[in-house]
Structure 1
């Protein structure tokens, strides 16, 4: 299910591309397991585990924060035939198999496109939707709107030295392009924000930990309802036009996210964490401290 969710998040408007991504990921995973066999035979399982972690771009220092991801990688190393059967059933067949792989642009292009979505427009639109929801839920003195959320990102983001802040025009263009899938990204960003672990580790766990993934899907349903029904004070239509909102066929009931656990950082944009591809994960929200 994690791969299906990733495909939807980066290619929301094309079921054909989503199938190609599933088949490409499946082929790549099985190919990786085949490459592991001689490595395991020569150097042992721990060496193969370490090599796999490096290959997929995971920081080894983050592994203690990634129990579900670590368990999945261990299964790939320890029980490759069992994992291969699951990959065939859950990814290869639904993805269209050989035909999809033949039509797909290849693993490198797929990863590049997902990086564009996660480090650019798609992720930012989820962040904007989340920010509007937090303002509405926790800051009654402010009128929640996209314009306010964008202004906050611009104002606070400009204070972070060495980071590239999207212009207001860019944010508007991204919102128009990606707003249909923004509910899923809003839920994903919130899950990562509240996890209390490094952003990269949180992102992996949100996909591989079943409970976290189910939480993302339930919250995404709520954000979709919010986005398609909430009209800002001076607006004439909801944040997301109903016809543009991607239909979420999750077998998961809607769950209201814990927006009260978030607080807009008084220091604004906190230092961003750079991912493997050098893109930034913006941290304008921080977990609310209820210990006082």
Structure 2
């Protein structure tokens, strides 16, 4: 038996790739910051008996089994496996648990089969399972360009004064997974506008972060959050991501910002509110 243990933290996309085409291809780049306190730890053991496919996890293991099967097939490894994975934060509530989960799983599997986790074949498997997991392979502010699955650590943005606090307002599993939502939102009549305006929004965010322009940063993050939410609601499935408590927190943040506090909010395919502010801020 061979065993590998790996950890990954979740990440929060400030600009989201949000939406795929009919083939599952990601259409837009994304930019994320790490959530270092939200960690998945995964242990993978390969066993001789290729019929063994055991997963110890508190939620539905279907996607984990599918990913491990695809990974081992890609590298022609004819082994069974035991996967043990746990998070120190809730899953399926808009905290990007799939990012940390599949990133940690990919790291452990890559170690076991003797391949670099940034190998194009590994990145392609991850992109087809959880695109956000690609960004959790690296530390810092990470940019993912879907063409060729290029990952870049944006050291030029690392000095931006930013702290994220996440408020889980509903710990029930969300109605749709992020993967399902990515397939749904292109049916929104507003999706074409998102594609047309995204490059400008991306450039404005990067410029604000380079220049430590907090008001400019907050404007773009807020614009992106509204775009994200409205397209979910206006797609053919009419998905409402927020809960009443989500809106109450947002209203409080809006008031604080009107009072001159450098603060804003964003979301990640769930009701959880991610409040962004300068380091040391306190929600009033």
TM-score by length of 2: 0.29
More strand by share: 2
More helix by share: 1
TM-score by length of 1: 0.28
